[in-house]
Amino acid sequence: MSEQVLQGITVLAVAGASALWLAWRLHLPSILLLLLSGFLVGPVLRLLEPDRLLGDALFPLASVSVALILYEGGLTLKFRELRDGGRLVWALVSIGAAVTWGLSALAAHWILGLPAQLAVLLGAILVVTGPTVILPLLQHIRPTGPTGSILKWEGIVIDPIGALLAVLVYEVIAISGVRDATMLVAVAVAKTVIAGGGLGVLGAGLLTLMLRRYWIPDFLQNAVSLMLVVAAFVTSNQIQHESGLFSVTVMGIALANQKFADIQHIVEFKENLRILLISALFILLAARISPRDLTSVGWRGAVFVLVLIVIVRPAGVFASTWMGKLKRSERLFLAWMAPRGIVAAAVASVFAFRLEDAGYPEAGRLVPITFLVIISTVAAYGLTAPLVAHRLGVAEPRPQGVLMVGAHSWARAIAEVLREKGIRVLLVDSNRANTAATRMAGLATYTGSALADYALDEIDLGGMGRLMALTPNDWVNVLAVQRFSRIFGRSECYQLPPAGEEQEKSIHCSLHGRWLFASHLSFAELQRRFAAGAVVKATALSESFPYEAFQELYGATAVPLFILTKSGSLHVLSAERRPEPEPGQTLIALVDEPPSGAPDAAR
């Protein structure tokens, strides 16, 4: 038995990590490959049987995992994000949720033939979207404007609301009498808001106090944070069933918006934990499903899913946003993003089991229907949402933009050439003289420190695909790399190499980004070269003027900086990447003034 458990854990770890890596390599939504991996190791190869592996602990572990994911999601929610879309978020989780609930229940009753009570319960379950699906998709799509923050807030806040609605409907079904049901609903809502919200605020306040007073050593802070989250979740659930999700969400939001203690290291730990939990949960979820479960729903299930995607979600969005200031394209994108996740599966499984024991045999249909909705919506939105976002103009495919930290004169010179070649560039600098000169040059700029807490919320990263840290301070460059590597990935975060071998050795390789351009091209060296008259030139290479001719023309002092391919992809050259430009590409390089008679392509 122990060998089977060890094999199951190994299969789960290997399948999850492989799916995430393959999704990164193929530029596909990770959720899709996680589901496919779950099907493969589960019903296809039978290498993983979640019910035998975890037994009765499966759903409790899933519940705690969802709580930790919601807590981590709450840590990313800043109130200042609501300045542009706050009303729309509240409308989506109230008006939109009510419309989704009602229309889903009607569709379940008319299309699937569920009894009215069970149809209302299924409608409540399907109100949720959830961060387990929304957050990875948003990270993959990286939409511009307010749509990203609106979807993030909706996906995190709607989960505890949907779970509470399902609990209320279940308890109404389980008792008789309108008066009793009304009182029960009122008491349950009061318990959830007061007890759940109170425990969330109390947990956040206690952790903040402990961090501020230095009562916890650094190496125990993440462990204590996990302890408080799980304690708040379980205690809240003991007071009111399924109120724990509301409690941990409130705790995360409260911690994210307090100003008394630094929680950045906790946020980073929870981000890594979220990736692990999401991969495990989705593989376990998919491995439990057999083809027979899905086919038992029949053609009516496909029609039901189609109605959810084409009618229910758009109706909820347009009912919530018709008075808002969103553009038509942004409204349409919101209408095309409502994948369901692990919360819907867990809630449906729990209540189906209880209602079957209470004498509702039709309740067993809730589980395969919910699983079908999860798989179908994840597949539909995961495959099409990036394309829809690009077609609507709210995101860019494989963004090529460059975020430059530092807006001094030669950084502007590089940015101007990139802009001329159609590459979006945004320069960030705390020096107002530099940013003023940047605006005068017609370049996009942001005045402020890239390291400030509010910078990530205020800088528009839409269309940005990489970071270039160009300040004269090596450690500021290192910190910029550390901050933005969570967004762009370490492979797309570059910084200027330090001047001198000894200084280079003082920065550990695990901290700095990729050295820009060439190992000897420090800030001081670039400053000297530009002061001596060097310029940034874009050269179109061809069969008649290949890279060898470029080298012969400009000599050994020329330093290639970027290669722009025919398709418009920008490749940043680094110290470890030797330039290999080909005819048909554009080479952007730092050169001395070309001699008279140079080809037009090099000017």
| E-assigned strand segments in 340-471 | 401-405, 425-429, 444-447, 464-469
Structure tokens of 397?
């495919």
Cα–Cα distances (Å) from 54 to 50, 65, 194, 514, 572, in that order, read: 6, 14, 34, 43, 47
Instruction: Give Cα separations from 207 to 43, 266, 269, 386, 601 (angstroms).
Output: 43, 11, 15, 38, 62
CA distance 47 to 56: 19
Where do runs of H (alpha helix) occur along 508-546? Answer: 523-531
Instruction: Return phi, psi of residue 447, to 5°.
Output: -95, 115
Question: What is d(CA 213, CA 203) in angstroms, rounded to the nearest whole number?
Answer: 15
pLDDT at 505: 54
Alpha carbons 155 and 196: distance in angstroms, whole number: 19
- Cα 225 to Cα 231, 357, 594, distances in angstroms: 10, 38, 61
CATH 3.40.50.720 range(s) for the chain read 401-602
Q: CA–CA separation, 493 vs 121, rounded Å?
A: 48
| CA distances, 557 to each of 534, 554, 601 (Å) | 10, 7, 19
Query: What pLDDT shows up at residue 502?
Result: 46
Task: Write out residues in the chain with pLDDT < 70, as ranges.
Answer: 1, 27-29, 81-85, 130-132, 174-182, 268-271, 358, 396-397, 453-458, 500-511, 593-603
May I ask the CATH architecture of the domain 401-602? 3-Layer(aba) Sandwich (3.40)
Sign of the torsion formed by the C-alpha atoms of 237, 243, 245 and 246? negative
Q: Which residue has the tokens 């039901």?
A: 304
State the Cα–Cα distance between residues 582 and 603, nearest whole angstrom: 18
Angle between the 147-174 and 342-357 helix axes, to the nearest 10 degrees? 0
Nearest to 513 by CA among 478, 484, 486: 478
528: number of Cβ within 10 Å: 11
What pLDDT is stored for residue 130 in this prediction?
Answer: 67
Distance from the Cα of residue 576 to its chain's centroid: 30
One DSSP character per residue, 251-307 reads HHHHHHH-SSS--HHHHHHHHHHHHHHHHHHHHHHHHT--HHHHHTT-HHHHHHHHH
Spatial distance between the Cα atoms of 456 and 77, rounded to a whole number of angstroms: 12
Kindly report, residue by residue over 308-337, the tens digit of the pLDDT: 999 999 999 999 888 777 788 888 998 998
Q: Residue 61: exposed, middle, or buried by beta-carbon count in 10 A (0-12, 13-18, 19+)?
A: middle
Residues facing 447 on adjacent strands: 429
CA–CA gap between residue 483 and residue 19 (Å, rounded) = 26
**H/E element holding 570?**
strand 570-572
Q: What is the distance of C-alpha 67 from the center of its chain?
A: 17
Positions of CATH 1.20.1530.20 in the chain: 2-392
pTM above 0.85, yes or no: no
The CA distance from 84 to 103, in Å, is 28
What is the amino acid identity at position 12? L
Would you state the CATH architecture of domain 2-392?
Up-down Bundle (1.20)
CB 122 within 8 A of CB 366: yes
Retrieve residue 388's tokens.
């829809």
As separate numbers, helices (DSSP H) first and strands (DSSP E) second, the chain gives 27, 10
- DSSP state string for 436-472: HHHHHTT-EEEES-TTSTTHHHHS--TTEEEEEE--S
Which DSSP letter does residue 565 get? -
